[in-house]
Amino acid sequence: MAERATIVGSGPNGLAAAVALARAGYEVRVLEASATIGGGVRTAELTLPGFRHDIGSAVHPAALSSPFFRAFRLRERIEWIVPEAGFAQPLDPLTPGGAARAGVAWHDLDRTAEGLGRDAAAWRAVVRPLARHLDGVVDFTGHQLLRVPRHPVTTVRFGLRALELGSALSRRTFRTDEAAALFAGVAAHANSSLPSPGAAASALFLLAHAHVGDGWAYPRGGAQAIADVLVADLRAHGGIVEPDSPVTDLASLDWGDPLAGDVLLLDTSPRLVLTHPDIPASYARDIRRYRYGPAAAKVDFALDGPVPWAHPDVAVAPTVHLGGTRDEVEASENAVARGRMTERPFVLTVQPSVLDPTRAPAGRQVLWAYIHVPSGSTLDPTELVTQQVERFAPGFRDRILSSTSMPASRREASNRSDVGGDILGGAFSFVQAVRRPVFSRTPWRTPMRGVYLASASTPPGPGVTGMPGWFAAHQALVDSAGVGVTLDDLFG
Ligand SMILES: Cc1cc2nc3c(=O)[nH]c(=O)nc-3n(C[C@H](O)[C@H](O)[C@H](O)COP(=O)(O)OP(=O)(O)OC[C@H]3O[C@@H](n4cnc5c(N)ncnc54)[C@H](O)[C@@H]3O)c2cc1C
């Protein structure tokens, strides 16, 4: 009889682990708390019929460069939209009533640089070497950091840039409002204080993807397509997914016999391991010490037409960062890191329907947006987001047909992994890039036999990469067979 693998959680990492173990011959069962499958990669009609909104992730720069998804051939399994402009950040006119301004990260690096005036050379110098050696960047950032990198030159270059741009020195690197704002907007994805080396590293990773390959691509029809193809592959290899199956206590969960080779993988907050009856006190202490970060408050809009951006180039960029200048973005993010809010918060927006007509009825649009807020905040972001969009797109308010919001305080009830509304699986800092969630060369393996952590709370961390899930499955296979199984073995 085949060994059993029980996976708790059907996010991209749980499903990646499930696919790997099913292909390796395990009898796989995925237990999902929610009624719907996919965790951070789900799409649903949240507002009006025919308007399809991404519940979690919307744009996937890291999915197509992920070694797991490359082996899985995710690029070929679903249809991807590769935008001409990865992202844009509109700015106020220099004088009241003056011309609208914006920084735009085009897929074409030279076109981007040319739009950045006297920062053209600086943008090229920062981004081009990393974009040219994307494999080296992915190798370094896409693994446990406590290892010898395979591309040392790219790793050193990346590290030095992260230190420079993660400090006050960044003010000497980018001097135009456009380039400075573009960089700050991408760094703000880390939801931590700015500037900081951790946020700069995350920005460099995302920027390296913006100008090569498929750029900041996203699946036609929404992120749910990613979960759907993973589930299809899992089922084709005999695995099953059980929605509406929350796991609250590992002591009472029947997941088989670890001595017989059965395994349990947790695509959840690491806190769930605290319910294991045999958890050693020192490991429990480390898991309790793991820090969760500030949260996200999200709002989705159904619109009766495109967002009326004042700057025409912003209309063609699916991802739009709103928050004004670097100073404003930094003030907003630093306030949240200290547990406060500014009146004009940084807003991450995605307008997928500008390039994907399947997302809304003819002529209509969807807009996805979130702001960073302190952990557990009850703030409804709808009005703050509306004001920030209206600032750069006068008339936006009149286009709103319907909206629905999720304050941070409600997020954990919808996904137990989002502790306090943290959507990154734990605070994103330099220390927690290494201690994720514990200091170990094999952080996916717990001290309890057969039990593994597989979520974004393990390396390489958040984003839709499937890599934490693959590393956990790989560790389980190494521990049971004594030899490593490669992605080529499973998918070749
Ligand atoms: C609003 C939002 C926007 C985002 N935007 C992007 C983006 O644009 N691009 C990007 O790359 N990433 C983005 N992310 C991050 C990305 O979605 C996550 O990093 C990724 O989904 C993490 O995958 P995971 O499998 O580790 O966890 P999740 O996707 O969170 O899945 C965990 C699953 O486990 C289930 N679960 C948890 N606990 C239990 C339990 N005890 N019992 C049973 N089931 C349980 C949950 O219900 C959930 O389905 C975003 C996330 C959110 C929420």
Q: Residue 2: what pLDDT?
A: 85
pLDDT, residue 89, reads 98
User: What pLDDT was estimated at residue 444?
Assistant: 98
Domain containing 398 equals: 80-218+294-414
Q: pLDDT per residue over 394-437, tens digit each?
A: 999 999 999 999 999 999 999 999 999 999 999 988 788 889 99
Q: Please give the full DSSP string across 114-163, using - where no structure is assigned.
A: HTTGGGHHHHHHHHHHHHHTHHHHHHHHTS-SSS--S-HHHHHHHHHHHH
pLDDT (0 to 100) of residue 147: 74
Q: Which atom of ligand 1 is nearest to the CA of 454?
A: 26
Whole-number pLDDT of residue 422: 98
| Same-domain pairing of 105 and 165 | yes
| Number of structural domains found in the chain | 2
User: Is the Cβ atom of 40 under 6 angstroms away from ligand 1?
Assistant: yes
Among 393, 414, 435, identify where a domain stops: 414
**Angstrom distance (rounded) from CA 255 to CA 134:** 40
93 part of a folded domain? yes
The finding on whether 33 has its CB within 6 A of some atom of ligand 1 is yes
Co-location of 260 and 160 in the same domain? no
Which CATH number does the domain housing residue 146 bear?
A: 3.90.660
**pLDDT for the residue 141:** 82
**What pLDDT does residue 138 have?**
87
| Ligand 1 binding pocket includes 443 (Cβ within 6 Å) | no
Distance 487 CA to ligand 1 centre (A): 23
Q: Whose CA is nearest to atom 18 of ligand 1?
A: 463
139 shares its domain with 209 = yes
Q: Are residues 287 and 304 in the same domain?
A: no
Q: How far is the CA of 13 from the centre of ligand 1 (A)?
A: 8
Distances 155 to 100, 103, 140, 150, 162 between C-alpha atoms, Å: 38, 28, 6, 9, 10
Is 195 in the same domain as 326? yes
* First-to-last C-alpha distance (Å) of the chain: 25
Same domain membership, residue 406 and residue 258: no
Q: What was the pLDDT predicted at 145?
A: 72
Indicate if 463 and 451 belong to the same structural domain.
Answer: yes
Q: Which of 379, 414, 449 is the last residue of a domain?
A: 414
402 and 435 co-located in one domain: no
Report which ligand 1 atom has the smallest distance to the Cα of 298.
1
Residue 39 Cβ < 6 Å to ligand 1:
yes
Q: Is the CB of 29 under 6 A from ligand 1?
A: no
Is ligand 1 within 6 A of the CB of residue 58?
Answer: yes
Q: pLDDT tens, 466-480?
A: 999 999 999 999 998
- The answer as to whether 405 is a domain residue is yes
Residue where a domain terminates, one of 414, 446, 462: 414
So what's the pLDDT on residue 380? 98
Does ligand 1 lie within 6 Å of residue 14's CB atom?
yes
Residues of the chain scoring pLDDT < 70: none
